[in-house]
Structure 1
Amino acid sequence: MITLIGAAVAPGLALLCYFYLRDNLEPEPISMVVRSFIFGILIAFPVMILQYIIQVEWGFNSVWASSVLSAAIVEEFFKWLVVFLTAYKHVEFNEPYDGIVYAVATSLGFATLENLLYLILNGNTVAIWRSLLPVSSHALFAVWMGYYMGRAKFAGENENRRVFLLFSLFLPMLLHVIYNVIFMSAQYWMMLIIPFMIVLWWLGLKKVHLAHEFGSKNAHNRPQ
C-alpha cells in the first residue's frame, strides 16, 4: 500500500517542485503553494459528485458527453474557480509567474488524488503511464490557465483583463477536450498522443518563459 501511495503521489509532487523552482523572481510562500495543492485535492470530491449527476441523473452518459462535458469542462472550471477565489486576489500573487505556480499546484492536487484512486482500482502497473500522461497533462493545462491569469492580473492600460481571464478558463478546457478526444480515437490514439504531449510541453515551457519575461519587464516598471 505504501508503494502504491508513493507511486500515486510522487509524479504530482515532482512536477510541482519543478514548476515551483522555476520561479526565479520571488518564490511563493510554501504555505500558499501547499494550500493550493490541498484545495485541488478537496475539489475532486464535488467534481466527482457533479460528474455522477451529469452522467447518471441527467443521462449524459455517452463517451463524448463524459469526455467533454463531465471531464474536461467540469474539471477545468472547478480548478479555475479555486485559483481565482483563493490565489488570484491574494497579496502574494504579486508577479505574473505566480499564476502558473498556483494553477499548477491546484491542478496537481486534483490529479494526485485522481491518480491515487485510479491506482487503487487498477494497481501500480499503470503508474508510469499515469505519470507520463494524465498527471503531466493536468499540470500543462494549468500552465496555460496560470499564464493568462497572470497576464490578467498585471494587464496594462491598453490590455483587456477580462479577455485574459476568459483565455485562462477556456484554453485549458479546449486542451483537455483535445486530449480526451485523442483517447477516443481507438487504435490511433498512440500515434496522436505522443506528438500532442510533445507540443503541449513545448508550448507550456514557452509560456513559462513568457511569464518570466513579462514579470521581469513588469518589475522594472514598478516604482522604486
Structure 2
Amino acid sequence: MAMPPPYPTYPSGPADGALHHPHWWQRRGVRYGALITLLAVSGLVILALVREQTGTEGFLVGLGLAVFPVPLLIAAFRWLDRVDPGPWRNLVFAFAWGACAAALIAIVANSFATKWIATTTADPSGADTLGATVIAPIVEESAKAAAVLLVFLFRRRHFTGIVDGVVIAGITATGFAFTENILYLGTAFGTDQLTGGRGIASVTAATFFVRVIMSPFAHPLFTTMTGLGFGIAALSAERQRLRRALLPVGGLLLAMCLHALWNGSASFGPFGFFAVYGAFMMPAFGLLTWLVIWTRQRELRTIREELPAYVAAGWLAPAEPFALGSMRARRMAREYAAHHLGKPAAKEVGRYEAYATTLAFLRHRGRRGRAGADFGVRESELLNELWRLREVARPALEYAARVAAPPVPVMLPWPAHPWPAHAPAPQPYATRPAHPAAAYPAPAYPAYNPYRS
C-alpha cells in the first residue's frame, strides 16, 4: 500500500492539549434528548391549538393544501447547498423548529400581545393592525432566528458562509410557513362552511392563491435576511467580534422591516398589496436569488483555486481540482462510478467530493486568517479520508475531467508567403483541451470489485 504524502505545512492555532471533561448537561446525548423533547412537545401543542381553531375537517384540508409548496422550497434550498451540502439533521432540525417551536411561540405571543393592546389602548379596533405590522414581525422573526443562531453556535463546522445561512434560515421559514398556512387555510375552509362559499369565489381558494401560489417565498425571503447576516458573520475573522455580533442583528432587523411592510400592505388601500408585491417583494426575491447563485459559483471557483496546493503535495491528482470545481463533472464522476462499480462506489465518490470541498473551504479560511485552532487536526482528518477513498474516486474524477473539459480555440500562425494554389486550404483554428486532464489516458478501475460478490 502506498504511503500518504506529507501534509502541507500550515501554522495551527494554539492549543493547551488539556483534556476537558464535559458536565452532564454538556453531553451530546443529553442535549439531543432535550432538543427532541422540546420539539416534540411543541409539535403536540401546536397541533392541538391549530386543530382547536380550525376543527378536524378544516385542519385536514389546510394540511393537504399547505404541503404543496414545501417540497419545491426544500428542493430549491437543497440545490443551493449542493456544492458543500450540510448534514440532513441540520435541515430537519431547522424545519422542525420553524414548524413547531417558532410557530408555537408566534401563536401564543401574538395572541397575548393583540389582546393586551386591545384592552389597554383607546382604539381597540386598531389592535389587529398594530399586532400584524409591529408585534408579529418582531415575534415571528425572532423565533425563527433562534434556529439559525443555534446552528451557528453548535454546528459551526457546517456553517461557514452565506449559502449556509440562507439555507438554514430558508428551511426554518419554510417549516414556519407550513404551519401558518395550515392555520389560515383551515380557518378559511371553516368560513366557507359557514357562508356556503364555493369554487373560485371561496375564501379558501383566495387564501390558497395568495399564500401558496403568489407568495410561497414570503416567509423564507424575510428570514433569509437574518441568514445573510449570520452567513457574513461566519466569514469574518474571530477577532472581529463587534462585526460578528452586529451583522446578525442587522439581518434580523431587515427581516422584521420586510415582514412589517408585507403585513401592512393590506392597510395601504385596495392596491397596496400588489404595489408592495411588485415594488419590493419581487425585486428583493430576484436580488437574493442572484446573490446566492453568485455565491454558489464563487464557491466552485474557490475549490479550483485552493486544491492545487494538495496536488503539488501529492494528495490529489492534477485533474481533480477542475473536476471537483464543476458540478457537471462531479455528477459525471458519480455516474461513472455507479456504472462500473455500482451505487456503493457512487456514494464513496460523493463522500470524496464532499471531503475535498470542505478541505478547499478550510484552506481558504486559513489563508485569510479565519481558521480556528483546530485547523491542522481538521486538515489531517480530511486528507486521511481522501486518501482512504482515492482508489475508487480518483479514476472517476479523472474520467469526468477529461470529458467535461471544454476545448479552447488556439490561433495558429499564418505563413508569411501566399498559400500555394495546389495546397489544401489552411485551418486557422485548432482545438486542445483547456485542462491538463487531457494528458491522462482513460482511467480504468481495477479488475477486483469489492462491491460485487
Partner of 1:187: 270
Matches for 1:202-213 after TM superposition, within 5 Å:
202-212=286-296
Partner of 2:364: 221
Q: Give the counterpart letter for 1:178 in structure 2.
A: L
Which structure has the bigger radius of gyration? 2
Partner of 1:27: 85
2:80·2:293 contact (CA, 8 Å) conserved in 1? Answer: no
Find out whether 1:115 has 2:181 as its counterpart.
yes
| Cα distance in structure 2, aligned partners of 1:96 and 1:142 | 13
**Offset from partner CA, 1:62-111 (integer Å, 9 cap, x none):** 244212222111111111122202x1121322343111111111111111
Unmatched segments (≥5 aa) in structure 1: none
Partner of 2:149: 84
Deviation at 1:138, TM superposition (A): 0.4
Partner of 1:137: 218
Gap change, CA 1:213 and 1:174, over 3 Å in 2: farther
* Aligned counterpart in structure 2 of residue 104 of structure 1, from 170, 185, 192: 170
**Offset from partner CA, 1:164-204 (integer Å, 9 cap, x none):** 11122111011111112222212122233233222121122
Find out whether 1:5 has 2:66 as its counterpart.
no
| Cα distance in structure 1, aligned partners of 2:229 and 2:298 | 11
Moved more, 56-65 or 165-174: 56-65
Moved more, 102-111 or 194-203: 194-203
Matches for 1:22-101 after TM superposition, within 5 Å:
22-42=80-100, 43-59=102-118, 62-85=127-150, 87-89=151-153, 90=155, 91-101=157-167
Taking only aligned residues, the RMSD between alpha carbons, in angstroms, comes to 2.5
Partner of 1:152: 233
Partner of 1:162: 245
| Cα distance in structure 2, aligned partners of 1:16 and 1:183 | 28
1:102·1:146 contact (CA, 8 Å) conserved in 2? Answer: yes
Gap change, CA 1:54 and 1:109, over 3 Å in 2: same
Q: Give the counterpart letter for 1:221 in structure 2.
A: H
Gap change, CA 1:132 and 1:14, over 3 Å in 2: same
Q: Scaled by the length of structure 2, what TM-score is found? A: 0.45
Moved more, 176-185 or 129-138: 129-138
| Cα distance in structure 2, aligned partners of 1:184 and 1:13 | 32
| Cα distance in structure 2, aligned partners of 1:214 and 1:165 | 22
Name which structure has the greater RCO, CA cutoff 8 Å, separation 6+.
Answer: 1
* Identity among equivalent pairs (%): 24
Moved more, 123-132 or 208-217: 208-217
Unmatched segments (≥5 aa) in structure 2: 1-56, 190-203, 303-359, 367-378, 380-453
| Cα distance in structure 1, aligned partners of 2:299 and 2:225 | 16
2:161·2:232 contact (CA, 8 Å) conserved in 1? Answer: no
Between Structure 1 and Structure 2, the one with more helix by share is 1
Partner of 2:400: none
| Cα distance in structure 1, aligned partners of 2:294 and 2:262 | 24
Q: Give the counterpart letter for 1:137 in structure 2.
A: A
